[in-house]
Amino acid sequence: MLSVPSYSPMPLISIIIAVYNDWTALNLCLDSITQQTEAPDFEVIVVDDGSDEAAPAAIRHWASRLPLTIPRQPHAGISTARNRGIRDAKGAILFFVDADCRLHPNALSSLASATAAAPAYSYFQARLAGGGSGIVGRAEVLRLIALQSQLLQSNGCIRYLNTAGFAVRRSKVDVEKGLFDPDALRAEDTLLLANLIQHRELPFFVGDAIVRHDVPLPLMQCFRKDIRSALLERKTFDIIASKGITVRMTHRERLKMLRSMWILSKHPSIGRGAWFVLTARQSLQRITSFFYPLFRKRYEPPTRTLLVARTDQPRPKGEAS
């Protein structure tokens, strides 16, 4: 395990990044962390989830500029990797970021300010910004703007959780057990959100802590990934269903979001084409999920996605109806 001493024996924030063969994307992520302004003390824990090769020199080089550790484990899935990062972390705030993300320069300072100003909250969702080249990237920009806008509650919380930019107070986590269910090898953040809603909690939205999540894949590769994701995430949805919680938006909410995205797509920087691509991708996922029983013997769960959880239980205290 590669390591250098942290800049502080007790950093405020532990940035935890699970990696599986994502070294090229991670290089850009680490570069964005070095560019943080007025950042509190922090550490970076990159958990190598059994990649084909250990961290290359280009990644290990960042240890000279960052308080970086790179523990390595046999491949066990993203949930197990993140739980390993939790055990190694020393920070009071655990901040989960994906390897293909980039932090805006004030992301850590904004997160630190929000956690200090809102002691009543234990979970925090950073604002995600889409990115990437071409129409797929513009579709991701459109999706994230509409999704976060619609799901933001009047009390500052958000009915949404994405581990591409999610933080939790260490005091709320069973360090040995971890935060993520190891059986959820796909859609693990959806399961976590469902658990929070079940306990009448939602993440507090930190709009100034911006994390850019790029989608570099061309359109056809995105379609193939969407099909595979819809098949692989079903095990997690079964776990959620066993808790008596229904996930995904209602039809009314989905139609409202489609209308909102249509309006947003008229902006020249996004374009109507992005709306059609996004609608096609979401429809493909829904169709694939519907026909899942026909494919279940050919696919075995794991991987990662994002979804919105909903329940018929009473809303968390302070949440708008």
Neighbours of 300 (CB within 10 A): 10
Total structural domains within the chain: 1
The CATH number given to whatever domain includes residue 167 is 3.90.550.10
Distance, in Å, from the CA atom of 260 to the CA atom of 265, rounded to the nearest integer, reads: 9
3-state helix, strand, coil in the chain (%, to 5): 40, 20, 40
Task: Specify whether the CB–CB gap between 186 and 304 falls below 8 A.
Answer: yes
Calculated CA dihedral for residues 47, 49, 55, 60, nearest 10 degrees: 0
Higher pLDDT, residue 132 or 295? 132
Q: What is the pLDDT of residues 23-54, one digit of tens each?
A: 999 999 999 999 999 999 999 999 999 999 99
- DSSP output for 250-298: -HHHHHHHHHHHHHHTTSTTT-HHHHHHHHHHHHHHHHHHHTHHHHTTT
Report the 10 Å Cβ neighbour count for 56.
13
pLDDT band, residue 296 (cuts 50/70/90): low
Residue 304 has pLDDT above 50, yes or no: no
Cα distance between residue 116 and residue 16, in whole Å: 20
Closest CA to 121 of 86, 166, 169: 169
Residue 63 contacts residue 3 (beta carbons within 8 Å): yes
Higher pLDDT, 298 or 201: 201
Residue written as token pair 């850019």: 212
What is the value of pTM for the model shown?
A: 0.84
Residue 62 included in any domain: yes
Q: Is residue 320 part of a domain?
A: no
Sign of CA dihedral 267, 272, 276, 279: positive
pLDDT at residue 308 is higher than 60: no
Q: What are the b/e assignments for 106-128, b being 16+ CB within 10 Å?
A: bbbbbbbbbbeeeeebbbbbbbb
Specify if 292 maps to a domain.
no
Residue 5 is predicted with a pLDDT of: 40
Query: pLDDT of 39-97, one tens digit each?
Result: 999 999 999 999 999 999 999 999 999 999 999 999 999 999 999 999 999 999 999 99
Least confident range from 5-14, 188-197, 237-246, 302-311: namely: 302-311
The model's confidence at residue 237, banded by pLDDT at 50, 70 and 90, is confident
In this prediction, residues 201-223 reach a mean pLDDT of 90
Q: Report whether pLDDT(299) > 60.
A: no
Q: For 66-70, 113-117, 238-242, which range has the lowest pLDDT when averaged over its residues?
A: 238-242
> What DSSP assignment string belongs to 149-179?
HHHB-TTSBBS---TTEEEEEGGGS-TTT-S
Q: Does residue 301 form part of some domain? A: no
Max Cα distance, the chain (Å): 53
* Secondary structure element (H or E) that encloses residue 210, with its range: strand 204-214
Domain of 54, in residue numbers: 9-138+151-216
In a domain, 103, yes or no: yes
pLDDT band for position 292 (cuts 50, 70, 90): low
Does a structural domain hold residue 106? yes
Mean pLDDT of the chain: 86
Q: Domain for residue 164, yes or no?
A: yes
Find which of 14-18, 192-196, 254-258 is predicted with most confidence, using mean pLDDT.
14-18
pLDDT value, residue 223: 84
**Domain membership flag for residue 318:** no
Burial tier of 277 (Cβ tally within 10 Å: 0-12, 13-18, 19+): buried
Local structure of residue 137 (DSSP, 8 states)? H
Q: 21 is written with which tokens?
A: 């063969």
Residue with the larger pLDDT of the pair 114 and 8? 114
* Secondary structure (3-state) at 15: strand
